Structure 1
Amino acid sequence: MSHPPAPSPGGPPPPGRRQRLRARWADRHALPRFGYWLLSRGAFVLAVCGALFVLNGFVVGWANAYTVLTGITSPAAVRPQWCAWPLSLIGWAAIPAVVGAAAGYVITEQIQAHHARELGDVLDELRRLAEPPGPPPPPGSGS
């Protein structure tokens, strides 16, 4: 009969993989706005787009699914049409919306990062850069 291992005197055991994953998922609110959006809403939209593409790939063929998604081919030109129309709508509306949202978040973050500097600091830096250079060092200075 084996005995359970004695508890270590150094404190509680380290968290397991499940607890670490749960803690990371809870910490997603600490991410920047773009990262949080991508994990919370963007992943769902992209998963729906991917599922529709895979369904169409198996039903109408991978090449047809791609051309319908990108708008090269009309969904009326492929058979069956019942799955091509939602894919076409996703490619026409949802994909550009996701790309636009991602670009908007990235651009907003960059603008906010540049607005974080005080006007006085920016003016002082510009004045420093606009000053003429000082005289050259004397010829025997060792520099």
Structure 2
Amino acid sequence: MSSAPAPLSDGPPPPGRRQRLRARWADRHALPRFGFWLLSRGAAVLAVCAALYVLNGFLIGWGDAYDVLIGITSPATVRPQWCAWPLSLTGWAAVPAVIGAAAGYVITEQIQAHHARELNDVLDELRRLAEPPPPPSSGSGA
């Protein structure tokens, strides 16, 4: 019995999952500044914050962990304190810093998008707007 010959390959095999993930990770540099920052720096900070919150949730309770994170409860009033103090510092410093950085990137991108015009174009438009309006046309409309 003869079997049919295998079809000829038209090129290299399709990339595997690992190669596709590696290519996606390399493509992150093509993202806008905010997207790149969020994937590279922001994700690491948020991961640390989340890990501290989960650790404290299991050790001191979820409600107390939330209260310590946002500053309602002092970390000195919960037990164990060794894990509540880093969570409190994170909620006091790192979370507002991440939110401020994200807002700063978004605002900067919006400002730069509106600065695309040349100064001479802006001055010409301002001069045109500062001119007095032309006199109304005297037409016999009746």
| TM-based fold match above 0.5 | yes
2:20 and 2:103 map into 1 onto residues whose CA distance is: 31
The RMSD of aligned alpha carbons is 2.6
Residue pairs, 1:53-132, within 5 angstroms: 53-123=53-123, 127=128
Cα shift at 1:19:
1.1
Aligned length: 134
Q: Which amino acid aligns with 2:9?
A: S
Cα shift at 1:86:
0.4
Q: Which moved more, 1:100-109 or 1:61-70?
A: 100-109
Question: What is the TM-score normalised by the length of structure 2?
Answer: 0.81
CA change 1:57–1:7 in 2 (3 A) is farther
Tell me the SS of whatever aligns to 2:72: coil
Residue pairs, 1:5-24, within 5 angstroms: 6-9=7-10, 11-24=11-24
Report sequence identity in percent.
81
2:89 and 2:98 map into 1 onto residues whose CA distance is: 13
Q: Which residue of 1 aligns with 2:32?
A: 32
2:122 and 2:8 map into 1 onto residues whose CA distance is: 59
Q: Which residue of 1 aligns with 2:43?
A: 43
Q: Which amino acid aligns with 1:65?
A: A
1:56 and 1:4 map into 2 onto residues whose CA distance is: 63
CA change 1:131–1:123 in 2 (3 A) is farther
1:100 and 1:60 map into 2 onto residues whose CA distance is: 29
- Which segments of 5 or more consecutive residues in structure 2 lack a partner in the other structure? 138-142
- Which segments of 5 or more consecutive residues in structure 1 lack a partner in the other structure? 136-143
Question: What is the TM-score normalised by the length of structure 1?
Answer: 0.80
Cα shift at 1:122:
3.5
Tell me the SS of whatever aligns to 1:83: helix
